[in-house]
Structure 1
Amino acid sequence: MTGAADDRLGRRHQDQPGAKPSSEPSSEQRIGWPVWRLAGVIVFGAFASGMDASLANIGLKSISSDLGSTLATTQWVTSGYLLALAVSLPLSGWLGRRYGPGRVWLASLVAFTVASGLCAAAPTVAGLIALRFLQGLAGGLLIPAGQTVLGRAVGSARLGRVMATLGIVVAVAPALGPVIGGLILHGGSWRWLFAINLPIGAVGLALGLRYLPRGERGRAPHLDWPGLLLISTGLPALVYALTAWGDRGSLAHPVVVGALAVGVGALAAFVARCLRHREPLLDLRLYRRNQVYRAATVTTGLTGMILFGSGLVFPLYLQVGQGQSVLATGLRLLGLGAATALVMPAAGRLTDRHGGGVVSAIGCATLVAVSVAFALLPLDAGEVVIQIVLALFGAATAFAAVPAGIAAYKTVTPEQLPDATTTVNIVQRVGGALGGALLAVVIARNLPDDPEGAFRHAFWLIALTGLLGLLSALWLHHALRGAEQSGRTGCAPRPGGGSAPVEPGAGVLEDA
């Protein structure tokens, strides 16, 4: 049955006399098979994009050797991909309104898959870097476009459970990257690091063409080219400044200062333009009139710092601190990803029942406790102890990071959802870049003289960030309670009833 057929069934059900609307705000409302199937289709794009963020890291040395390049140049295979992700995100909202989020997802998956095949055949490192940039442009659209499709399909009352399914893949895919990459390099060429996306993309495209709702072609405003130029300059410059800060170990380095000035200046001009322009590239006025959205986005940024920052710390902790091999490190990190995946559905269900603020607060409080435990552990701690603490960290990350994003999406209308998913993803990625840069600086400065102290300081910094996340999550909880009491649209239902109305039309699959 196609997405269009599912949509017609949903609409017929709504049209029947006395039929219960599919978007009725009940946290216990059953989610039908068509929605779960749709989530499964979107998972393919999320998995490919997320895995590629870490998969190539493990092959940089092999690529350098094979293509006759220096490691400093080859690292742009990874950095260029991350910068491209930041560049393409702002276009996601406009493209979704103009062509329909389903069409954007399909086109992005095609482009991502083709670029992956070309990366596998790249003859020079310069060509590989350019193709990785194109791959990143496509990959940056996959997750926000997929989130928009799901958000419109399921409705706000059940959004937590479905988004948590997508969140499993988003969280686990980067953790699987080093493991899969290590296995590939153990028995084959680095080119298979990119060729592996060909079958994944082909399966995802076949399923998407059959089941993905395309969305309506909208009356999107004219593309704000000056705004696009500002944010396309500001975001990469800011991400590059943070990355360069980590590489050079000094915020006063001329390259860092210059990139930071360009990034902050361009983004400040972009924000000012969006607040004044009648048809902005992104509707940042959501922050002005929606306290829940403000609090949820701040919480997402702080938990993004922990999510992506810890992704840098843990491999170094195991490889440098404990002397593990690349493959052994990847296998040991499976426990972290597995714990996140196992807990994610529970985080989604609890978010639907109790709201994102309280769930995220519990996760952030646990992150603080586990980070302090890591800071106090000696580097030669036993394998069992390390695996237990890693699993607790992964579970806490699921509770901290996922509910905040869901809360942001729940409180906006379907028309605002493309802008909301885009903005939240931008804040999370910039937060992740900031977290990674700060932790890299802390470790780099202390590692030569005091390896144990280097990681101790890093985990204390993660604990501090978790504490800030806890305060932000409590702010989100307060904002959600206020919104429910005032009857704001899209708020999560409270246990026992009394939930706010849900946006019209949510929960019905769109026309294909």
Structure 2
Amino acid sequence: MSHSPQAPVNPYRVAAVVMIGSFMAVLDGTIVNVAVPSLQGYYAGPDGTPPPYSSVAWAITGYALATAAIIPLTDYGLRRVGHRWMYVGSIALFTLASVLCALSPSLGVLIAMRVFQGLCGGCIMPVGTALVASVAGDRLGRMMSLMGIPMLIAPVVGPILGGWLVDVASWHWVFLINVPFGLGAALLGLVLLPRRDSRRAAVLDVPGVLLMSPGLALVLWGVSNAGAGAPVASPSVWAPLAVGLAMVVLFVRRSLTTAHPLLDLTILGLRPYRTAILLAVSFQAAFTADLLLLPSYLQQVRGLGAMETGLLIAPTGLGALVTMPVAANLIDRLPPRRVIPFGMTAMLLSVLALTQVGPSTGVWWLAVVLTVQGMGIGGTMMPVSTAALQAVRRAEVGNATTLFNIGQQVFGAVGIAVVSVILALLLAATPLGGQAVAGELGGAQLAAGLAQAAQAFGRAFWMPTACLAVALVLALRLPNRVVVPAEDLPPVASSEARA
């Protein structure tokens, strides 16, 4: 199909708009956690009895489940509505939902508004990634590196900013802080995002939606329950897992047989894409497990506050900012196998070093390890996304991005759940470690308990280490040649590329 001549789109302007929205979405996933005690106090009953933590936690769980449920629909939305309006609409509705969360008169209303917010927030990252990829041209690696900045900064800033807002103002501002970001991103989107859009006729696979979205949410619900401490044999774990996995299997079967599937799974036939997505989910499981263990170790074993923890983790972001632009430039010019394994090796070595943490591990040693870890993240996270998108046709970017985000969402939750169970078992196996981190000991017993807890944390770090070892093996299986976009290949070569 021929296109009429038009002014070139500045991809850096598009990336700047998407970065603002992505920062807001990722920030919201971490900033609310610190407000749970305040929410319990605010929504206490007439007799002053606060609602149980498990009830308030649904404000977090409901958001995560809604985010997962909406992701499969984003590719359909891109085809039906177009990149520009899909992104601006998601940002605007997310901002509205944030205001409604802050104004919620009851806990039930807050949970409902958080689900609404999650449905909007789940669209922001995949749609933003597809939007940037659609205008990146031969600068895909550099554009993806910019997309990685919010994903690195927001998890560090979230707990610090959230704690400060709750202390100096109230929990309402944990949600209201989204308003300036949302309004800025929506207005800039209307002005700077390309007006030419790729809207086209699209058929909604309703049975696919009814299988995939609830199935994915049920899987994550079961995994999250396991991570929250429920026994694996508990119906709250195995029942949603079994039903959810069965629905996902039926969805896969339908997708491979229907003419207009919700997601085209045949894209997994592309070996470079398949390898990249397997690498990404292995990395994501390790990354989320590491993100859980490290702050918990610093606060529960070392006794640091949220702000001190954030400052100590800051070298991770600084290290990533050093290597990210270098890796982005290289991934646009060199084969993925010559770029990604170096960052993956740095990440693997840093997490391996964390298996040796103790009750008094030096702060400077930790800072060096976390700087190396950040350098590994910067050399890995977005280059893997770039390697995946380089392998697909431009028309398949939305579908490829959606599958990529689903994999990351699921295995991110799996990483948290698995390492939570491992850590709980390791702490329970110590005489005093569990009591020490719970603050139930004092004096010499506390010192002994913290030493045992530190050893348990060190052993728990072997789980992300193992995932990163698998990821490194997969990185060495990435293409050793520059991947030519499939639309630039002759028809026969394009077919052969999927072998």
Confirm or deny a common fold (TM above 0.5). yes
Q: State the partner residue of 1:210.
A: 191
Alignment partner for residue 413 of structure 1, among 368, 393, 400?
Answer: 393
Q: State the partner residue of 2:66.
A: 84
- 1:240-259 correspondence to structure 2 within 5 Å: 240-259=221-240
- Unaligned runs of at least 5 residues, structure 1: 1-6, 11-31, 493-499, 502-512
Distance change in 2, residues 1:242/1:214 (3 Å): farther
Q: State the partner residue of 2:472.
A: 470
How big is each residue's C-alpha offset from its partner over 1:309-329, in whole Å with a ceiling of 9 and x where there is no partner?
A: 222111101111211112222
How big is each residue's C-alpha offset from its partner over 1:454-485, in whole Å with a ceiling of 9 and x where there is no partner?
A: 211221111111000011111223xx53x85x
Distance change in 2, residues 1:490/1:355 (3 Å): farther
* Alpha-carbon distance, 1:215 to partner: 4.4
| Paired amino acid for 2:468 | G
| Paired amino acid for 2:344 | C
Q: State the partner residue of 2:128.
A: 146
Instruction: Please state if 1:35 is matched with 2:11.
Output: yes
Separation in 1, partners of 2:409, 2:196: 26
- 1:13-162 correspondence to structure 2 within 5 Å: 34-68=10-44, 69-155=51-137, 157-162=138-143
Distance change in 2, residues 1:35/1:328 (3 Å): same
* Alpha-carbon distance, 1:404 to partner: 1.3
Contact 1:293 1:411 in 2 (8 A): yes
Aligned length in residues? 460
How big is each residue's C-alpha offset from its partner over 1:138-164, in whole Å with a ceiling of 9 and x where there is no partner?
A: 111111111111111111x21000111
* Alpha-carbon distance, 1:249 to partner: 5.0
* Alpha-carbon distance, 1:281 to partner: 0.4
Contact 2:357 2:457 in 1 (8 A): no
* Alpha-carbon distance, 1:238 to partner: 0.9
- 1:444-455 correspondence to structure 2 within 5 Å: 444-448=424-428, 449=430, 450-455=452-457
Contact 2:357 2:454 in 1 (8 A): no
Q: State the partner residue of 2:7.
A: 9
Contact 2:84 2:197 in 1 (8 A): no
| Paired amino acid for 1:127 | V
Contact 1:370 1:389 in 2 (8 A): yes
* Alpha-carbon distance, 1:217 to partner: 5.2
Percentage identity across paired residues of the two chains: 33
Alignment partner for residue 346 of structure 1, among 326, 351, 357?
Answer: 326
* Alpha-carbon distance, 1:386 to partner: 1.2
Alignment partner for residue 162 of structure 2, among 170, 176, 181?
Answer: 181
| Paired amino acid for 1:9 | A
Separation in 2, partners of 1:491, 1:378: 54
Q: State the partner residue of 1:459.
A: 461
| Paired amino acid for 1:279 | H
How big is each residue's C-alpha offset from its partner over 1:429-463, in whole Å with a ceiling of 9 and x where there is no partner?
A: 11111111111111112225231232112211111
Separation in 1, partners of 2:331, 2:175: 36
* Alpha-carbon distance, 1:88 to partner: 0.9
TM-score of the superposition, structure 1-length normalised? 0.86
- 1:350-499 correspondence to structure 2 within 5 Å: 350-448=330-428, 449=430, 450-477=452-479, 480-481=480-481, 484=483, 489=486
Contact 1:45 1:109 in 2 (8 A): yes
Q: State the partner residue of 2:48.
A: none
Q: State the partner residue of 1:263.
A: 244
Contact 1:227 1:281 in 2 (8 A): yes
Separation in 2, partners of 1:356, 1:215: 31
Q: State the partner residue of 2:145.
A: 164
Q: State the partner residue of 2:438.
A: none
* Alpha-carbon distance, 1:275 to partner: 0.9
Distance change in 2, residues 1:9/1:287 (3 Å): same
* Alpha-carbon distance, 1:283 to partner: 0.8
How big is each residue's C-alpha offset from its partner over 1:69-102, in whole Å with a ceiling of 9 and x where there is no partner?
A: 2111111111111111101111110010111111
Separation in 2, partners of 1:54, 1:216: 33
Alignment partner for residue 330 of structure 1, among 310, 318, 322?
Answer: 310
Contact 2:102 2:173 in 1 (8 A): yes
Distance change in 2, residues 1:225/1:249 (3 Å): same
| Paired amino acid for 1:475 | R
Separation in 2, partners of 1:343, 1:386: 19
Separation in 2, partners of 1:180, 1:437: 25
* Alpha-carbon distance, 1:359 to partner: 2.4
How big is each residue's C-alpha offset from its partner over 1:219-258, in whole Å with a ceiling of 9 and x where there is no partner?
A: 3332001100111111111111111111235322222111
* Alpha-carbon distance, 1:214 to partner: 4.1
* Alpha-carbon distance, 1:218 to partner: 3.0
Contact 1:176 1:334 in 2 (8 A): no
Separation in 1, partners of 2:303, 2:346: 28
| Paired amino acid for 2:340 | S
Separation in 1, partners of 2:36, 2:195: 38
Separation in 2, partners of 1:197, 1:214: 25
Separation in 2, partners of 1:338, 1:302: 23
Distance change in 2, residues 1:491/1:249 (3 Å): farther
Distance change in 2, residues 1:220/1:90 (3 Å): farther
- 1:312-323 correspondence to structure 2 within 5 Å: 312-323=292-303
| Paired amino acid for 1:57 | N
* Alpha-carbon distance, 1:180 to partner: 1.0
Separation in 2, partners of 1:235, 1:374: 32
* Alpha-carbon distance, 1:330 to partner: 2.2
* Alpha-carbon distance, 1:488 to partner: 5.9
The worse-fitting range, judged by mean Cα deviation, of 333-342 and 361-370 is 333-342
- Unaligned runs of at least 5 residues, structure 2: 45-50, 431-451, 495-499
- 1:191-210 correspondence to structure 2 within 5 Å: 191-210=172-191
Q: State the partner residue of 1:227.
A: 208
Q: State the partner residue of 2:262.
A: 281
RMSD: 2.0
